[in-house]
């Protein structure tokens, strides 16, 4: 498949090479910051940078929107595609209907639309990720487009699902809880230890075992431990006293403690 990327950030950094390695051809990469497009192109076989959003003469048939959610409509409003092109967004939270509506409003030619959402955390500049075990969530209202996107997904991943916009929205919220919030808690734990002259490395075995246990059972709730789980109010009170000079962190501790206690009927 002939493909162009609109956006050269975290997802594009990993997805574009994965598609090329699966036998597809990346023609062009557009980024508002040209240097970012150049960086991605340097990792591809013979792609080139594209300095504007006019792709009317592009040889590509698939255009991948890999831009932040809040930039999607603005990019769509300025995007010019060849007739009968397929445009997909990669957002976890934006609906397919939104993309269809934007194309109806802004495009002068018929455009097929879809969703190609990779359920994973990506960081630009990191070693390229293997996509075989990354879930890909596909959606389109057009059966031929859906079939083509499913095949594209299966070319790079062993886990491909047809997911509706509402299901994907729920998955995205769950992903934020499991990934983004968890990582932020790790960052807070890092700051708390290092600010008090302790090595964050002391927590690494605990963190590793926590994730191992949580992923080894059907429901992580079955292996929950800690003072909130055992309703140890004395320890909880002591921890909150320790955090008295850090009210934001104390608030997070209290909210999560209350959530755990309520979850287990305390």
Write the pLDDT tens digit of every residue in 182-205. Answer: 999 999 999 999 999 999 999 999
**Same domain for 147 and 217:** no
Report, as an integer, the average pLDDT of 100-112: 96
Which of 105, 138, 163 terminates a domain? The answer is: 163
How sure is the predictor about 28, in pLDDT bands with cuts at 50, 70 and 90? very high
Domain count, the chain: 2
% the chain with pLDDT above 90: 98
Q: Range of 188's domain?
A: 169-263
**Same domain for 141 and 180:** no
Mean pLDDT, the chain, rounded, equals 97
**Same domain for 207 and 146:** no
Q: Report the CATH number at residue 36.
A: 3.40.50.720
Question: What is the maximum alpha-carbon separation in the chain?
Answer: 69
User: Could you tell me if 7 and 30 are in contact, meaning their C-beta atoms sit under 8 angstroms apart?
Assistant: yes
The model's pTM is 0.93
**Same domain for 177 and 134:** no
Exposed, middle or buried: residue 42 (CB in 10 Å: 0-12, 13-18, 19+)? Answer: exposed
C-alpha–C-alpha distance, residues 25 and 17, integer Å: 10
Least Cα distance to 110 among 83, 73, 132 occurs for 83
pLDDT recorded at residue 41: 97
**Same domain for 132 and 149:** yes
User: Could you tell me if 145 and 114 are in contact, meaning their C-beta atoms sit under 8 angstroms apart?
Assistant: yes
Least Cα distance to 60 among 29, 34, 37 occurs for 29
pLDDT tens digits for range 210-253 = 999 999 999 999 999 999 999 999 999 999 999 999 999 999 99
The helix or strand, by DSSP H or E, that contains position 84, with its residue range, turns out to be: none
**Same domain for 186 and 134:** no
How sure is the predictor about 60, in pLDDT bands with cuts at 50, 70 and 90? very high
Q: How far is CA 171 from CA 92, 118, 135, 194, 259, in A?
A: 8, 11, 11, 34, 20
> Is the per-residue pLDDT at 254 higher than 90?
yes
C-alpha–C-alpha distance, residues 264 and 139, integer Å: 37
For the stretch 27-31, contacts whose Cβ atoms lie closer than 8 Å and that sit 24 or more positions apart, written own/partner, are: 27/2, 27/3, 27/58, 27/59, 27/60, 28/4, 28/55, 28/58, 28/60, 29/4, 29/5, 30/4, 30/5, 30/6, 30/55, 31/7
Which of 163, 197, 217 terminates a domain? The answer is: 163
**Same domain for 179 and 159:** no
Q: Report the CATH number at residue 207.
A: 1.10.1040.20
Sign for the pseudo-dihedral over CA of 123, 128, 129, 131:
positive
**Same domain for 178 and 118:** no
Report, as an integer, the average pLDDT of 25-35: 96
**Same domain for 64 and 50:** yes
Least Cα distance to 176 among 111, 106, 121 occurs for 121
User: Could you tell me if 113 and 85 are in contact, meaning their C-beta atoms sit under 8 angstroms apart?
Assistant: no
pLDDT tens digits for range 126-166 = 999 999 999 999 999 999 999 999 999 999 999 999 999 99
Gap between the terminal Cα atoms of the chain: 56
> Is the per-residue pLDDT at 266 higher than 90?
no
pLDDT recorded at residue 179: 97
**Same domain for 187 and 108:** no
C-alpha triplet 138, 141, 143: angle, nearest 5°: 80
**Same domain for 249 and 124:** no
Which of 135, 163, 191 terminates a domain? The answer is: 163
**Same domain for 124 and 28:** yes
């Amino acid at each position: 498949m002939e493909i162009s990327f609109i956006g050269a950030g975290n997802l594009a950094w990993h997805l574009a090479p994965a598609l090329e390695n699966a036998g597809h051809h990346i023609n062009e990469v557009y980024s508002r910051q040209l240097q970012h497009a150049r960086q991605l192109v340097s990792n591809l076989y013979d792609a080139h940078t594209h300095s504007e959003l006019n792709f009317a003469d592009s040889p590509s048939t698939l255009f991948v929107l890999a831009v932040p959610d809040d930039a999607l409509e603005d990019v769509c409003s300025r995007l010019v595609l060849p007739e009968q092109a397929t445009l997909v967004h990669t957002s976890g939270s934006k609906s397919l209907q939104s993309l269809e509506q934007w194309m109806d409003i802004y495009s002068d030619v018929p455009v097929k639309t879809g969703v190609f959402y990779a359920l994973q955390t990506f960081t630009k500049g990191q070693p390229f990720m293997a996509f075989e075990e990354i879930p890909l969530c596909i959606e389109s209202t057009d059966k031929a487009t859906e079939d083509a996107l499913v095949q594209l997904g299966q070319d790079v991943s062993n886990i491909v699902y047809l997911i509706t916009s509402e299901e994907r929205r729920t998955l995205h919220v769950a992903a934020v809880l499991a990934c983004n919030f968890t990582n932020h808690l790790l960052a807070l734990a890092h700051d708390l230890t290092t600010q008090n002259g302790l090595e964050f490395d002391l927590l690494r075995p605990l963190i590793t075992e926590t994730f191992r246990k949580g992923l080894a059972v059907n429901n992580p709730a079955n292996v929950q431990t800690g003072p909130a789980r055992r309703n140890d109010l004395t320890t909880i009170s002591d921890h909150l006293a320790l955090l008295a000079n850090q009210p934001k962190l104390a608030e997070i501790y209290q909210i999560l403690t209350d959530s755990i206690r309520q979850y287990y009927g305390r």
